[in-house]
Amino acid sequence: MSYVTIGVLGLVLIGAAIANGGADQATWNYFLAAIGAITAAHFAIAREPKIARVDRVAWISGAVFVGLAAFQLVPFPAEVTAILSPARHEIARSAERLVGPYMILPISSLPNKTVLLLLELIGHATVLLLVRDAVLKIREQCWLAALPIVLLCSAEAALAAMQAAAGQKPIEGFGTFVSYDHFAGLVEMGVPFAAVFPFAILGQRERGEPIG
């Protein structure tokens, strides 16, 4: 199951990159839903040996990080929000002439956007835990987890090189990304894997281990 999980996650990554680098929120929500479905299927079907639990400090740190985002959506009495976030309270007071006084008020000025960002944070944490579980169960071939990233980076870099040769400017985006910053971030993820892989092969040869 771990091999299937890594393969399907790789397809999600490639699909998100093709869809304008996941820049469109509505499209990106479908990929988040796919990640959730993959996670549910992996932990429901996988029957491989159990692995070491996540460190308690890591669990607490992750929970606090996500919890802080969720905390901004809690509807507090307006008086409490004025103490927690005076700026948010001032914004609400400015709108009272149009919508009337607020009795309860979350810290977030745009709760609908905050919900989407919270779901995105949960998605990132889910991918981290999912890949950790899958990789630890296939230790001898853990490099497979990096393969989708390396392949995608290679394809995106080749496309960007052709676009640059054709005179496309960075402001217009590179590869399938509408933002060249996002494109650069993807390449930065893939370069380390590609750079150290030859050294890993050489190390296996020196130790007389089978390559793979």
At 209, which helix (H) or strand (E)?
none
Alpha carbon separation from 39 to 12, 63, 127, 154, 176 (Å, rounded): 12, 18, 8, 27, 27
pLDDT the model gives residue 78: 84
Q: Is the pLDDT of residue 11 over 80?
A: yes
Could you give the 3-state DSSP secondary structure of residue 104?
Answer: strand
Q: How far apart are CA 89 and CA 78, in angstroms?
A: 7
Q: Which two tokens stand for residue 62?
A: 């992750």
pLDDT the model gives residue 203: 67
Which position has the higher pLDDT, 14 or 139? 14
pLDDT the model gives residue 49: 63
Give the pLDDT confidence of 15-65 residue by residue, as tens digits: 888 876 666 777 778 888 888 888 888 878 766 666 667 777 878 888 888
Q: Which two tokens stand for residue 197?
A: 């892989």
Give the pLDDT confidence of 82-129 residue by residue, as tens digits: 888 888 888 888 877 777 777 888 888 888 888 888 888 888 888 888
Q: pTM of the prediction?
A: 0.69
pLDDT the model gives residue 79: 86
Q: How far apart are CA 5 and CA 39, in angstroms?
A: 8
Q: Is the pLDDT of residue 210 over 60?
A: no
Give the pLDDT confidence of 134-183 residue by residue, as tens digits: 787 777 777 778 888 888 888 888 888 888 888 877 666 677 787 778 88
Q: Which of 75-84, 132-141, 183-192 is the least confident region?
A: 132-141
Could you give the 3-state DSSP secondary structure of residue 100?
Answer: coil
**Residue among 117, 94, 134 at smallest CA distance from 4:** 134
**Residue among 192, 178, 111 at smallest CA distance from 150:** 192
Q: Which two tokens stand for residue 20?
A: 């304008």
pLDDT the model gives residue 21: 67
